[in-house]
Amino acid sequence: MMMFKKQSDKLESLIGNGSEFRGEISVSGTLRIDGNFIGNATASWIVVGEEAVIKGDLKASGIFIGGRIDGNVNADDVVEIKPTGYFFGDICSKRLVIAEGGIFVGRSIRHEDGTRLIDLAGEEVSAR
């Protein structure tokens, strides 16, 4: 599977192995996390390395999980859990791929463009 659908596979930001970051991060391109991250991240693409440990929520077009995440993810396109990936939380995406050996404990919500949710009060709410 092709990891990036954009013309460049350029990595814009990195939280390296042995590093710890706490807080909010927003990246216009690709974010790779190999260290410990506590907080929320938004990027075009997010790659979670095998040594990464994340506690928080992620939002991107595509999220590739090779490490551990305790939180929720929202992807416009795809979430892929690699054989070394551990994910505990809720996933909202168009596509979900779990490789053999990948661990997923939580809920998966499939959304499509224009999907609408109706809350209990009867008001229409956007799924994004």
Q: What is the pTM of this model?
A: 0.80
State the CB neighbour count (10 A cutoff) for residue 89. 18
For 14-64, how does the pLDDT look when each residue is reduced to its tens digit (9 = 90+)? 899 999 999 999 999 999 999 999 999 999 999 999 999 999 999 999 999
Between CA 12 and CA 27 the distance in angstroms is 8
pLDDT at 120 over 80: no
Look at residue 80 and give its three-state secondary structure.
strand
For 102-119, how does the pLDDT look when each residue is reduced to its tens digit (9 = 90+)? 999 999 998 776 555 555
Instruction: Name the CA dihedral angle for 65, 108, 101, 79, rounded to a multiple of 10 degrees.
Output: -30
Question: What per-residue string of b and e applies to 8-18 under the rule 16 or more CB within 10 Å gives b?
Answer: eeeeebbbeee
Regarding beta strands 58-65 and 45-48, do their DSSP bridges make them parallel or antiparallel, or are they unpaired?
parallel
Between CA 70 and CA 82 the distance in angstroms is 15
In sequence order, the 6+-apart residues with CB closer than 8 A to the CB of 125 are 116, 117, 118, 119
Dihedral of alpha carbons 44, 8, 70, 125, sign = positive
